[in-house]
Amino acid sequence: MDVLNVRTQALSTRRIFTGGTKVEDFLKLNLQLLFLQLYIMGASRGGTLAFIVFCVTCVSCWGKVINYESVGGIPDDDSYLAAHHNGKLLNSTINALLPDDVLFIPNKTFTLIGGIIARDLFNVTFLIDGTLSFSDDRNTWPKNDDGYVLECIYLEDIEDVIFTSSSVGILNGNGRKWWGAIQYLKNQEDRPRLLHIKGSKNVLVEHLLLKDSPFWTFYAQNSNGLLVRYTDVDARWTDEDSHTLQDLQAFNTDGFDVSGVDVHIHDCIIWNQDDCISVKGNSANMLFERISCSGLGLVVGSIGESRVYNITFRDSIMPNTVKGIYLKTRWSDSAPIGDSASISDVLYENITITKAQQFAIWIGPAQQTGQCSLLWPIADNATCLMSGFQRWTNITLRDIYIYNPAGSPGVLYGNSSFPIDDLVFDNVVVVNPGMQPWGDDYYFCEGVHGYSMGGTKPVPPCFTEL
């Protein structure tokens, strides 16, 4: 893909986010695009007279293009010294970026240590044509004052920022030494996220591969205007076309975890061992479409004392996934408090789920340690409880096609004193459902005011057919 075209598309998207541009801004933008193209050509060909002339004439209309290798980045060297040098250099380089600057990662592999931290970036671009490969050495990983490891990359209070590539840029967390049951018992969640963005406005992420994160892959916290497209997540031990017991020991490798407003994620392929996409608390107006997800599902939750509304997942596939559609809440002993602890106006539409290893549909308590055992309902002594704290209303599943699930298709579990209200299955079709553990009922169905229509089969036992 041509660098100029990539940059044009990216900046056009950002202008749309910010409400358009003036004529003079448009002219300036085109000069910037030409400058970037000439820079890339000059860097790859040893420099040209045209590039030099353009640099002189355009210095006032464009920030700097910083080539990470040219300023000292050491490629193709995975030694301890190179990793620490590259990490320190990337930290200082990012923190020196000014508006309109471009940080260019050339098509080479740069091994580095994590703890990359920057704040208050405005109107900058990360053009990642190569690979940022993070060290897997926990012993030398930087830590905060409390002794916990720092994120691979942590950015806070950023605005009008682009992450893009002229091909496919790679962030590799090299997570395998961080994963596994033994490591989890030792370190629990004290592992770095690959990319954590907190408090952002108008951010574009595209044409990246986010690979083998030690912990959550991408966390956009309190976002306002986030677009992610053509960006894939891959976290697995093996190359099997399923989630083996070994693969599932890549604990907590969530794909895209997001909170905030006006989020759009589309055309992404996610294969991981936890939530593919997870909408966190205090979120609204989000659209996820044309996603391929194989993991623990397309998820809302888990939600505690916060409000989530107007969330749509559509036109997506879930091949050989563990869970499918997954909405979950956390336990609270408190009485209901209305909309401030609620999930409402959620739509899943045109989703195809094939060979789900667990439940293709789970709406209810978060199945994890605590309120609902991971062994429920298989183990005799396992329990699962649904909190009555959160208000659930207007949840619709439409045109959902489930093929050959390993067991019964689902769990629909509300609180009997404060039921899930207006849960609608519109043409939810299960082909060749398994019989365990719910037998001819097919669904566990309790504490739900549910309605079925449009060819739904089988109909959950506690639903009213319309």
Structural domain count of the chain? 3
Claim to verify: residue 134 and residue 226 sit in the same structural domain: yes
pTM, 2 dp: 0.90
Claim to verify: residue 149 and residue 119 sit in the same structural domain: yes
Q: How many residues would you count in the chain? A: 466
Minimum mean pLDDT among 7-21, 220-234, 237-251, 380-394: which range? 7-21
Q: Work out the number of other CB atoms within 10 angstroms of the CB of residue 162.
A: 22
pLDDT of residue 14: 47
Average pLDDT for 401-415: 98
d(CA 394, CA 347) in angstroms, rounded, equals 9
Instruction: Tell me the pLDDT band of 36, cut-offs 50, 70 and 90.
Output: low
d(CA 85, CA 111) in angstroms, rounded, equals 9
Contact 298, 287 (CB under 8 A): no
Average pLDDT for 104-128: 98
Claim to verify: residue 22 and residue 139 sit in the same structural domain: no
Contact 183, 161 (CB under 8 A): no
Claim to verify: residue 147 and residue 75 sit in the same structural domain: yes
pLDDT at residue 105 tops 50: yes
pLDDT of residue 370: 76
d(CA 296, CA 40) in angstroms, rounded, equals 41
Q: Residue 184: phi, psi to the nearest 5? A: -65, -40
133 occurs within a structural domain: yes
266 occurs within a structural domain: no
Contact 61, 98 (CB under 8 A): no
263 occurs within a structural domain: no
What is the DSSP track for 329-365? Answer: E----SPP-GGGSEEEEEEEEEEEEES-SS-SEEEEE
Contact 360, 401 (CB under 8 A): no
Q: Of 62, 94, 109, which residue constitutes the final position of a domain? A: 62
In terms of Cα–Cα distance, which of 403, 394, 383 is closest to 423? Answer: 394
pLDDT at residue 174 tops 60: yes
Domain span at 287 = 275-466
Residue-wise pLDDT tens digits, 281-325: 999 999 999 999 999 999 999 999 999 999 999 999 999 999 999
**CA dihedral (221, 231, 83, 79) positive or negative:** positive
39 occurs within a structural domain: yes
pLDDT of residue 59: 42
Claim to verify: residue 132 and residue 83 sit in the same structural domain: yes
Claim to verify: residue 114 and residue 131 sit in the same structural domain: yes
Side-chain-facing half-sphere of 431: CA atoms under 13 Å: 9
pLDDT at residue 91 tops 90: yes
Element (H or E) spanning 205, and its range? strand 195-206
pLDDT of residue 456: 98
d(CA 191, CA 183) in angstroms, rounded, equals 10
